[in-house]
Structure formats: C-alpha cells, structure tokens
Amino acid sequence: MKSMSNVDIFTIVHELNDILVGSRVDKSFQPNKDTVVMRFNAKGIGRVDLVLESGVRIHKTQYPIENPLIPPSFPMLLRKRLKGAHITSINQHYFDRIVEIKMKKDVSYTLIIELFAKGNIILLDENNQIIMPLKRKLWSDRDISSKKEYKYPPKKGINPLNLEINELYDLFKNSDDDIIRTLAKNGFGHIYSEEILIKSRINKNKVAKSLDNNEISIIFDSINDVFKPLKERNFKANIVLKEKLEIDTNKEEKVNGQKENKNLNEDSNKNLNENEKELQREIAKKSKDVIPIDIEFYKQFDKKYYGSFNEATDEFYSSKINAEISSTKENVWNKKVNKFEKRLKLQEETLKDFENTIILSKTKGDILYTHYSEIENLLETIKTARENDYPWIDIGKILKKAKKDGLKEAQIVESLDKLGNLILDIEDMKILIDSKETIEENAEIYYEKAKKAKRKIKGALIAIKNTKAQLKKMEDKRAIEIEKITSPQKRVKKDLKWFEKLRWFISSNGILVIGGRDANSNEDIVKNHLDNNDLYLHADLHGAPSVAIKLGETSQEELDDENKNQLLKESAIFGASFSSAWGNNYGSQDVYWTNPNQVSKSPESGEFLPKGSFVVRGKRNHIRGADLKIAVGIVDYQGKKIMAGPLDALKAHTKNYVIIRPGYEKKEKIAKEILHKINENNLITLDDVVRVLPSGKCEIIRN
C-alpha cells in the first residue's frame, strides 16, 4: 500500500493543526499490530478519530476499525498517560516523513509518528526520553526502546519550500546519478521528481553533474512552481483514478445531503448505505493515488476531488483496507462453505460408485449364467489338470497357447494366476472368478456385492441430504456475514435532539425522563431543564445522574396513583441503572425523589459543592430496591432512534428489544450483539448502542 509522501504529510499536518490543536485526548485503540487510532474531542466538532499507521499514513478517519476485545499494552499506556491531555501543536519534522504531536497534561508529552520504511509510533516524555515505542528497534546509531533518549534519523533530502539555488547546485554537482534519481533520492520522491522535470522540459535521464547553470536554474524554477500551492496553502485534494467511476460521481454528495433530511425513511436509509458501499468498492478498485495538489504527471487520468486532504486520504486508504478486510473475511467464510462443498462432492461421487457397482456386479453375475456351458467346460478342464498335478502356472501357459492356436473353449480366457484366479473376457467385459469354485458360487459373489452396494445407497442418500442442508445453512450464514463485513459504514455526525445528548427514555405513559451523563450534564439538567412542575430523582449513593421527570403541562395532582407510581418506578430503575451501582455489579439500589424547589446549588456554610453536585433540603421520598435492569431497542419518538430504559417503557413502545443487567462482559461486546438483534435497515451503528449503555460491564438476559 502507498506510503504517504513528504508532500502528503505536509498537507495533512497543516489541516490537522486547524482541527485538533486545543482538542482533548480521549481513548486510544490498536486494531492491528501497526495501527493506532486516537480519539479526540475537538471544540465545535466533537469526536475526531485519528488513524496512525506506522510507515504508511496519518489522517482523520470516519470509518471505524474493528478493535480487539482486549487492548494491547501500547494503547493502554496511551490511555493512562494521555487521556485528558490537550493538543498544543502538530508538526512535520524538517519536511521529512516524521510527525510530532505535542500534548500537555500535568506534564508535556510528544508522540512521534515515523512514516518512512516500516515506521514506528513512539511516546516521549518532556525530556525527549522514550516512554514506550510501538515497535522496539535497534540500529548502529539509534536505539528505539524504553528509557532511551529519542534520536531523529539522520537528516536526508532537501526541503523544497525553503530551497536555495546553491543547494541545488551542490546536489547535482556531487551526484553520479541521472537527474530523476538524484531528485527522487533527496526528498522529492518519484512522482514529484517526474513533475518537476515535466515542467522543466529537461531530459530526466541526463546525468545530474552534466547540467549547466542555466538548466539548474530552470529546474529550480520548476521546483518553486510545483510546490507553490503548498506555500500558498492552495490545496486541491483528489484521488487519481485508473479508470472512470461507473457510479454517479455526485452520488456521495447526494447521500450526504439526504442524510441531513430528518424525515428520511428506513428504505431510503438502506439505499443510502448501499450507495456508500458501492462508491467505496469502486474507489478501492479503481484508485491509483491520492494527492493534495493537481499535477501534470496525472493529467491523463480521471480524478475525484474532495473538500480536504484528510477526507481524500480517508476514502483512499479506508476503501482499500476495508476491501482487504472484506476479502480476508470472505475467504474465511468461503473455506467454511468449501468444506461442505467438498464433502458433498465426495458423497455424490461415492453414491455414483455404488450405483455403478450395482449395475456392473449384476451384469457380471448374469453373464456367468448366460455363458454357463462354456465356463463350466473350462472349469472342468482346469479341475482335471489340477487333479493330474499340473501347477497353476503351467495350466495358465497351456490355456494361453490354446487360445493362440484358436481353440474355441480357450478364447474367453484372459489370464490365470498362480492362485487359480481366472480372468474371463466375455462380451467386452473382464470378469474375475475363482476357478476352484462353481459358477453359482462365483455368480453369487457378484450378486452379493450388488446387494451390499444397494444397502449402502440408502445411507449415502441420507448423508447427502444432511450435507446439502448444512451447506445451505452455511451459505445463508455466509451471505449474512459478508453483507455485514463488506464495507464498514462511514461514521457521519448525527443531528441529535437536545434530549439525545443526555440519558433519556419515554415512560410507558408517554412522559419524557432525562438524566445526566457526567458532572457537566448533571449541572445542565438542574439549571436548564428542571422546571417547577417536574420531579427530581437521584439514586441514594455517590456517582449517579440527576434525573428530571418532565411532566410538562401535567401537574402531579393530575396523575392518578397508578400512573404516578408506575412513572416513579420506571424512573427509579432508570436512575439506579445509570448510577455507579451498575459498575459495582449491584442487583438493586435505593432511590429518592423530591420536588424541584428542594434542589439547590447553595451549600451549607463552610462547605463546597463540586460541579454536578447539589444539596437536597427537606423530605426525601424513598423508593427501595429499584432493580438494575434495562432494555435497549429502537422506538419511534420524534423519528426512529435507539432508547435504553426500563423494560416496561420499552415494551410500551417497541416489540424489538434486548434486556441487560450488570454482568462480566465488556459492553462493547454486548453492544455488537444488541446491534445485531435490534438494528432495522442499518438505522443505528455500534457507536449508537455503546453510547446508550450504562457505564460498566453487563450481560444479556436471555429468555
């Protein structure tokens, strides 16, 4: 796969500075041995995933890569050291294929991404000491291992963005190569070296040291011309295509435009996903290169342009990687199917052999009776010879000579071995008989062989029927699994309703209940969403959401006892389930509710209330032993969306849901199973499911 060039990295770094500087580091993942994905929260943007593949690429991605259930040690170290840090700068080291991401937490860190050769990803402390590399490497002049000082590789090549003509004179005069190799080896790479010489109109095969000053001056001007868009930040990111895309090139824009339509129905959503997959398959198959600027070297090729180089590189690399992943997984399923196909083929061949054995054995038995008198005379002759002490070998020779001499009775003899086994050639068929046995006994051997084969046919047919059923089942399963893996869905930021940014559910009697996700949203709920007519609810332990039961225009007095008790029961389950009780693996938890005017941000004298905490004064109405058990499903509330809440609430709004409780499985694993069970026409993604689950491990309650 193409590795990013110096020019690619320069462009990516410029764009990433605009996106990520000031953003907060979230989790890190390692989907495979050479790739790390870092997640950031960028102000005004939200979640940003950055993919770092040592020796190959660095760019923002919208295609989620499947991660192992147990994270390797390197991303775990990044989480421990960097989570919560802020990006201060992203730089390219001397126009080389090295990127430095500087971060500040309690101390400063630098993450080095080496994109030359096989590459590496290395975390440094503020003293430039290596904390941990992704891959340990040792050279004569560099030691990439923990607790060693990080040394950059020797500076190689020249920087075209601040090139002086004297550097070019020295470069060519000291080179024994031709011009194209001289440029390519000194930081320009093959493509941009070709582009420079296309613009200069100088023979690329000319020996570099033979250039005169005028020719060097022309090449210098060509270099400045080629890299002028980089200096002016005038990028034109595009994917170069080996052949024209068959799919409508505007379809992606149509897809993105339609995704913003809030009233999009399920069939349309399914069609959009298919369109995205089709477009990505086309790009994977037909893309040749991805570049940040237009160049004459690719003048004869079709191109697909993008709004940013990050977007172009994401489509280019992700399409190829997804195609490789799909191909690998398809091969796994094909092997499983082939196993049954081979078994079926073998069984069908065996059945055919049985059928042929029946026909052949019966025919041979019948022939023995048809030529009874000839064979009987022959057997009597052999028997007489044996009684006169003739050896089997001599009898065979006599029969052979008799056949040669034209004796009629000997014409059916093919051969006779030293054990008395006689091969007859009758009606163009070779029949083996024992000359010591009678015709009836020999015929019976063939008839019995036919009967035995006939008995085996019944078992063979049953085995074939079973194998066909297993093959069909495996083919159906392969079709379903391949449909899932063919192309991971592009992650598009959704236009969430205000309550979807919080914890929420719709009660069985249609009342919206919201809860905080963290200290900030707890603060927001009480200050901005808790109205005088609402009810406030909180689990009776530290680490629980502030819950607001949004009664709206309905007063508490208007609710009859049955509806009010049911509402409070469901809200109590909701508040308890999304509290720290879930992570502690409790089965139930006490909860209390109050009126909004009892909730205050004013602490007692001499006390301090941290963010997200409140004082509740007056009577607390306790609900004892609220079950920690919720259901997850897709409901239709201001459009179809995923909801996690009490079982009674889900039952009232959908028939398709999964019930979970605290357990010992990672929620990412459970989320995949939930997604498989409830997803309708790809309405939701794995991230959507993970987002609504409680913090901590869980398990599915199976009927």
**Residue 509 pLDDT greater than 50, yes or no:** yes
pLDDT in tens, 404-453: 888 887 899 999 999 999 999 999 899 999 999 999 999 999 999 999 99
**Do residues 65 and 35 lie in contact, with contact meaning Cβ atoms separated by under 8 Å?**
yes
- In this predicted structure, what is the pLDDT of residue 484? 62
Beta strands in 155-308 (DSSP E): 238-241, 287-291, 302-305
pLDDT in tens, 12-52: 999 999 999 999 999 999 988 999 999 999 988 889 999 99
Domains for the chain: give ranges and CATH numbers.
6-149 (2.30.310.10), 165-234 (1.10.8.50), 358-454 (no CATH), 498-700 (no CATH)
Q: Bridge partners of 102? A: 89, 110
Residue range 671-677: average pLDDT?
92
- In this predicted structure, what is the pLDDT of residue 605? 74
Residue 312 buriedness (CB in 10 A; 0-12 / 13-18 / 19+)? buried
Residue range 508-512: average pLDDT?
94
Which segments of 115-212 does DSSP mark as H helices, in order?
A: 165-173, 179-183, 189-200
Nearest partner of 689 among 677, 44, 493, judged by Cα: 677
pLDDT in tens, 303-341: 999 999 999 999 999 888 777 777 777 888 899 999 999
- In this predicted structure, what is the pLDDT of residue 255? 46
Provide the pLDDT confidence category of residue 210 given band limits of 50, 70 and 90. Answer: very high
130 residue type, one letter: I
Provide the pLDDT confidence category of residue 276 given band limits of 50, 70 and 90. Answer: low
Dihedral sign computed on CA atoms, order 165, 166, 167, 171:
positive
> How far is CA 195 from each of CA 159, 178, 366, 541, rounded to the nearest angstrom?
16, 15, 85, 68
Distance CA 566, CA 510 (A): 12
Reduced to 3 states (helix: H, G, I; strand: E, B; else coil), residue 549 is strand
Going by DSSP bridges, is the β-strand pair 86-92/421-426 parallel, antiparallel, or unpaired? Answer: unpaired
The larger pLDDT score, comparing residue 436 to residue 156, is at 436
Residue range 86-102: average pLDDT?
96
Instruction: Transcribe 597-637 into DSSP letters.
Output: GGEES-PPTT----TT--EE-S--EEEEEEE--EEEEEEES
372-387 vs 439-485: helix crossing angle, rounded to 10: 110
**Residue 253 pLDDT greater than 70, yes or no:** no
Q: What is the mean pLDDT of the chain?
A: 90
Give the tokens for residue 179: 């011009």
- Range from 35-39, 372-376, 487-491, 650-654 carrying the lowest mean pLDDT: 487-491
- In this predicted structure, what is the pLDDT of residue 264? 44
283 residue type, one letter: I
Distance CA 585, CA 284 (A): 46
**Residue 671 pLDDT greater than 80, yes or no:** yes
Distance CA 507, CA 127 (A): 56
- In this predicted structure, what is the pLDDT of residue 489? 63
